[in-house]
Each structure stands twice: as structure tokens, then as C-alpha cells.
Amino acid sequence: MKKVSVECQNIRLSYGATEVLKDINLRIEPGEFFALLGPSGSGKSTLLRLIAGFNRHNAGRLLVDGRDISAVPAHKRNIGMVFQSYALWPHMTVWDNVAFGLVERRLPSAEIKERVASVLALVGLSDYAKRRPNELSGGQQQRVALARTIVIEPQVLLLDEPLSNLDKNLRVQMRQELLSLQRRLGITTIFVTHDQEEAMTTADRMAVLDQGVVQQVGRPSELYDFPCNRFVANFVGTMNVLEGQVRGQSDRIVAMEVAGVGEIALPLQTNAAINDRLAVSFRPHTVQLEELPERQTKRFIWLPGIVRHSEFLGEFTRYAVQVGQQTLTADQAHFAGITLYEPGAAVSVGLEPTQIRLLPA
């Protein structure tokens, strides 16, 4: 099967006076596993349904394999979609559910039999062909929904939060199986989720949406390490923020005045004018906590802090540390025998300059 690209060019969609999608520009590469990530109401599912043909944009172009399909009805787009609810026919067997799309297309019975058998084997459900959906587990129902979609050999596969109805352990297993299947088939796949972990562990690239606007597009590691703004920083992972004001800059160093902390010097990452307000941002796992001054590494920026409370999470301990007028999160790897800080303990909070991002406040 030919791998195809999907491209949104200046797409806008409104419901009455409410603009739901605002000037969307995206290109999903042929054979790519692409995630649309965002909170409820961000427009990600609306965009997915628009690509499927279930709603129509007011402006812009939607291209598949370079061809504008904006005016093509949903049933002629050769795009398959797996819904959050699976939408299986309860009175039909697994075999009949999977065969349904082929029967509707009036394919020869011998071809239907061959393709259904092949796809059930592909998703590991050959022995369940005669069962009905209510006789299957959630993970098995998800496989049936997936099989029913890929049996029609779509050019593009759309997944609308297909794992959200599964428990945590099964979600991990199913997303691994889903990615493995996508790699074998090579189908261009667009996956909608509000779960950052699902997006980061499966997607080649992803787009973060908020209020109908694409905030940033890139590989998961790029969005995690180099978020373009505070929304992306906080949605893709957890981010500490110290708000400060620029006091001066020279020789690739910017001096920031942080409330309750004082002036700190940071690597200059962006043009900043005197008195500009910026967010000094860094991930919890990059923070170092030390009690003894002699153990403080010189490459870190050290700030005085007070431990307010802690959570032991097994692999690491998460501390809430007050620094100046703000509370920071510090994740410290746990080892047997390590000393845990008690609430009220005075600590030095170490910030690794290379891990700090200066973002618009």
C-alpha cells in the first residue's frame, strides 16, 4: 500500500460565532505516526473528524497525497477511523463486525473471507471470530475496532482516544501493540489523545493544540526539552517556573531579578530588553537538592530553600520546596539507604543552567 501524506493548509472552522480551529497548518509525513495532543476543547478531535470528512472547514485546504479532498464526502475518502467507544455492532460476531465494511463495498465473498481472516490473525483474534463484543475484554474489543478499520485498507488511519476506556496496565500494552501494528502496515496514522504519556511513547512527531491553535509541532523530545511557551511546557510534562525581570545582559549572560530570591545569572537564550518579564523554567528531575554546602557542584546555580512536604513514589521522591515566594517541585531518584528530607529542612536547590529555559512570562 502506498504511504501518503496529510496536509492542512490554513484551515479554519467555526460553529456560528465560535471559531474552533484557527489557521491550522500541519503536514503529516507518509507513514508517520502523528499525535494531536491537547486538553478538552482544544480542537484536536474536531480536526480529526474534519480529516475524516465528518465536518467541513470554512476556509483552507485539506490534502491527502497532494490532492485536495475538501469537497470529497467521508465515504469516498478511503480514510479509516477508530472511535473512542469502538462502535461495534453488539448483535454481530467479531467476524461479521470486521467484514461489515467489505460487505458494504460488495466485494467478492472469497476476497472478504481472505481479508477478514488475514486481519484477524494480524491482531491476534483468529480464535475469537465467532464471539460477540460483549464476550470480549476491553482490549479485545479495541482490536476488533482496529481490525474492522484496517481491513478496508485505508490510506490514512485516524484514532480518536482509542485507549481511554482501558485500565492503565492494558493501555500500556495496547499502545505498544498499536505502534507495532502501525509499523508493520506503514499506514499514515493520526492519533488524538489528551494523555501526554501516550503521545510521547508512540508518536514520531506531535502537535500540541490549545483553543483551536497549534502551539508547537515536533518530536516528543523536542517539545519536552525545548517548549516554545508556558502552555506547552506545562502540558508536555511538568515544569517549574520562577518569574523574574531582566536587569541586564552581556556576553551571552542575562541577569534576572527573581522575587524573593534576588539576582541570578543565566545563559542568554533569547533577545531580552531591560525590565522584560520572563519565566525561568526547568523540569523537576533536573533539580538537585543538597544539605551540605561542600557538596554543592559549581556548575549549578544554588538557591536557598525550605522543604514543605514530600511524596515517596518508589523510583523517586517528589519534594515541594519553597524558594523565595514560590514553591518548586524537585524529583530526586531514590536508592536504598538514601536520606530523605523532612518537612522544614533547609536545603540548597541546584539548577543546571543548560536545563533552564527562558519563556515568555
Identify the CA nearest to 347 among candidates 281, 289, 283: 289
What is the predicted pLDDT for the residue at 268?
73
Query: In sequence order, what are the residues at sequence separation of 6 or more whose Cβ sits closer than 8 angstroms to the Cβ of residue 138?
Result: 165, 166, 167, 170
Summarised one tens digit per residue, pLDDT across range 31-60 is 999 999 999 999 999 999 999 999 999 999
My answer on whether 169 and 92 are in the same domain is yes
Both 182 and 268 in one domain: the answer is no
Is residue 1 domain-resident? no
> What is the pLDDT, as a whole number, of residue 294?
67
CA–CA distance, 291 with 114 (Å, rounded to integer): 68
- 112 in any annotated domain: yes
The CATH number given to whatever domain includes residue 281 is: 2.40.50.100
Q: Are residues 228 and 347 in the same domain?
A: no
Please identify, among 235, 270, 291, the residue that sits at the C-terminal boundary of a domain: 235
Residue in 11, 15, 14 with CA at minimum distance from that of residue 36: 11
Helix (H) / strand (E) element for 26: namely strand 18-28
- What pLDDT shows up at residue 36? 96
- Give the DSSP H/E element, type plus range, for residue 8: strand 6-15
Looking at residue 138, what is its pLDDT? 84
Q: Is residue 269 part of a domain?
A: yes
CA distances from 147 to 122, 178, 198, 224, 341 (A): 8, 11, 21, 33, 52
Q: Which domain holds residue 340?
A: 240-360
Is pLDDT of 85 > 80?
no
Is there a single domain that holds both residue 306 and residue 161?
A: no
Q: Phi and psi (nearest 5°) for 113?
A: -60, -45
pLDDT in tens, 7-39: 999 999 999 889 999 999 999 999 999 999 999
Domain end among 181, 204, 235: 235
Question: How does residue 217 score in pLDDT terms, banded at 50, 70 and 90?
Answer: very high
Last residue of a domain, one of 235, 267, 299: 235
